Amino acid sequence: MVPTKATRHRGTDTSSNPESAVVTPALCPHCCDPIMCSAEVVMATCDLSSILTTANWAVYQGGSPETLLPPCATPGQKETLQPSAHLTCSPGDQGHQSWYHLAPQYWTKQNTLEWISHHVEESQFDASTLNMASCSMDGPTLCQMSHQALVSIFGLLGEQLFQNLLELKAKYGAYDLTMTCDFLNNLLDEFPEILNVNGADGIYDLGSVAEHSGGASDLNTFTLDKPKMMGEMTPVSDNGYESGPTSPDSLDFSNAGVLLPKVPTFSDSGSDSEQDLSDASCPRTAYEPFAADGEELKPCKRGRGRPRKLKQGSEHYVHTKRSKHAPRGTHLWEFIRDILIHPEQNPGLMKWEDRHQGVFKFLKSEAVAQLWGQKKRNTSMTYEKLSRAMRYYYKREILERVDGRRLVYKFGKNASGWQQGASGF
């Protein structure tokens, strides 16, 4: 007699992993500084791993800055935690970009922290000696710092930071300026009328921007009214702008904080073709389950597996370079973990069943799936799909099965950072 799947696969309730490291966060001597913003206080009171966790959490806010703020951030602080609103053509510019994908001039505070953390780890520097309040600066501020200033703040690490900063400035400086000018030229070619906007409402002056050649760092001053720009460029579908600054990834409008109202949906964000893509690439459509000529609408059974994405040239092809996949380092299990260790961010979505054992439960499974989909800019994410991805973690021992309990999972030995104390929470 062949055992059922349930009997074959259930009953693996192993104990939690004892080898998981527990890191005690080093308190910052400035943690009680009343002047610091609350978000900075959080960062300042944690060690660098905590900073990374906090920074990673900020990444998850991509789609919904209103609902996923850091624990203590007020709406007015949002822009300090989000990617810059500046018009750039920085290489690989996306919604949240790692510091190494952006010119330092465009770094957010988060990028700066990630950069510092990278160097701390690389050089095995003792982070507990750092004044974390001083780490909280955005790219433009960082770029203005002298060698002496960096050394005075970071000590020996400051030397390394300064050298790397010089390299990064050199690497991105000319490129950014060229790219930005190219973009503006293309933009003006496509939308000559946009120049008429200049002066009409006083929002921006592309003419003068195009003529501006004061160096890459000066481009930081070209803060545009992004929703307007997006609105202007929304009709563009085929000219390549989608991978440029009009992309919701390159100009993450939803992350622009107080500068603009929230862009509530993916579909209204111009070239964000995710919504369109999900429609156009909808398997039901792509597979044409019904007769195209309408003579006899017979349902057609869909093949197994994921439908093949339509290639360029197909009438259903939607131009996009956008990936639905998370960048490496932002995995589903980490997303889940961070919901659990930041319950105040999304109360009621998930809960610990057994914190010590790493057992947790989905309270609002579809809501979590939607949140995950929001992060991945995938509006069609469901708990069913999410749970499939979760089940793949069993094999990799990132998760362990919990028998007979619906919506309950357990972190496995290859999951890290969920243990109490490991992330400073």
Partner DNA sequence: GCTTTGTTTCCTGATT
Partner DNA sequence: CAATCAGGAAACAAAG
d(CA 404, CA 239): 53
Sole window of 45-53, 141-149, 215-223, 307-315 interacting with DNA (rule: CB under 7 A) = 307-315
Q: Binding to DNA (CB under 7 A): which residues in 331-350?
A: 331-333
CB of 113 to DNA, least distance (A): 19
Cα 196 to Cα 3, 80, 86, 204, 234, distances in angstroms: 73, 32, 21, 10, 18
Which of 13, 138, 83, 82 lies closest to 408 in space, CA to CA? 13
Kindly state whether residue 387 participates in binding DNA, applying the rule CB under 7 A. yes
The residue from 21, 166, 203, 389 that contacts DNA (CB under 7 A) is 389
Q: Which residues pair with 409 in a beta bridge?
A: 360
Cβ(208)–Cβ(219) below 8 Å? no
Closer residue to DNA in complex, CB, 217/269 = 269
d(CA 384, CA 396): 20
Which residues, 6+ apart, have CB-to-CB distance to 38 below 8 Å? 71, 72, 73, 74, 77
Which of 346, 363, 343 lies closest to 409 in space, CA to CA? 363
d(CA 256, CA 240): 23
Kindly state whether residue 366 participates in binding DNA, applying the rule CB under 7 A. yes
Helices 383-396 and 365-375 cross at an angle (nearest 10°) of 80
Kindly state whether residue 298 participates in binding DNA, applying the rule CB under 7 A. no
Q: Binding to DNA (CB under 7 A): which residues in 257-286?
A: 278, 282-284
d(CA 307, CA 26): 49
Residue with tokens 């197994």: 304
The one-letter amino acid at 365: S
Kindly state whether residue 125 participates in binding DNA, applying the rule CB under 7 A. no
User: What's the CA angle centered on 60, arms 233 and 52, to 5 degrees?
Assistant: 125
Closer residue to DNA in complex, CB, 103/137 = 103
Sole window of 73-81, 189-197, 234-242, 365-373 interacting with DNA (rule: CB under 7 A) = 365-373
Kindly state whether residue 328 participates in binding DNA, applying the rule CB under 7 A. yes
Which of 300, 294, 322 lies closest to 309 in space, CA to CA? 322
CB of 350 to DNA, least distance (A): 12
The residue from 49, 50, 84, 365 that contacts DNA (CB under 7 A) is 365
Closer residue to DNA in complex, CB, 33/366 = 366
Closer residue to DNA in complex, CB, 35/406 = 406
Q: What values do phi and psi take at 129, rounded to 5?
A: -85, -5
Kindly state whether residue 300 participates in binding DNA, applying the rule CB under 7 A. no
Kindly state whether residue 425 participates in binding DNA, applying the rule CB under 7 A. no
**Cβ neighbours, 10 Å, residue 81:** 24
Closer residue to DNA in complex, CB, 74/396 = 396
CB of 324 to DNA, least distance (A): 5
The residue from 321, 356, 420, 421 that contacts DNA (CB under 7 A) is 321
Closer residue to DNA in complex, CB, 107/409 = 409
Sole window of 22-30, 181-189, 218-226, 319-327 interacting with DNA (rule: CB under 7 A) = 319-327
Would you tell me which residues interact with DNA (CB under 7 A)? 4-10, 278, 282-284, 301-302, 304-310, 321-328, 331-333, 365-366, 372-373, 376, 378, 380-381, 383-389, 391-392, 394, 396, 401, 403-404, 406-408
